[in-house]
Amino acid sequence: MVYSSKKYSFPSRLTESQVNSSFQEGSEEQYFFKQDLEYATVAEPSLVEERFRLSETMVLFNYFQYTQAEIAVLMEVDPSTLVRWKKEDRLLTKLLTKSIKDMDKIVAKGIRIFGTEELFSTWLHTINEALGAQKPVDILLHPRGIDLVDQALDAMSWGAVF
């Protein structure tokens, strides 16, 4: 079965020729949650220690094609708690926000390596022997999974086949 990602537009600074390349140069660490910290000062720690509302994270979860049950596993809460959080548009903890930002960094890196959201999404949803015969998207649901997928992407960027 072939999975296709939801259609999201690339940042406007990318040209059509860059989107179609197999590797995109750049220093963008975030993909969905970019924030300009250039003007953050010590007096404004809230800019550095931002916390997301649950509704703000749905663009990332939609890209990963996570079900409500999978989002609950990721957030380590009961599915009924997640339903309540959605109604309240709950402000997530700093730890959950950090994990979500780390997952977003994975998306940014993966798209730079694979060239398009669709190709990266296909890789995310394909069983990978190097990752214990699991799909990277499933591994990302667990705390250590972000590091494992990040390491796999780093290895691929240096020419290893995953």
Contact 156, 147 (CB under 8 A): no
Tokens in use for 147? 């590091």
In a domain, 41, yes or no: yes
In a domain, 20, yes or no: no
Q: What is the mean pLDDT of each run of 10 residues along the chain (162 residues)?
A: 45 41 51 61 56 94 96 95 96 94 95 95 94 95 93 88 63
In a domain, 104, yes or no: yes
In a domain, 13, yes or no: no
Residue 55 and residue 40: Cα distance in Å, rounded?
24
Domain extent at residue 124: 30-157
Three-state secondary-structure class, residue 104: helix
| pLDDT at residue 89, as a whole number | 95
Q: Which residues contact 160 (CB under 8 A, 6 or more apart)?
A: none
In a domain, 153, yes or no: yes
Q: pTM to 2 decimals?
A: 0.70
Number of domains in the chain: 1
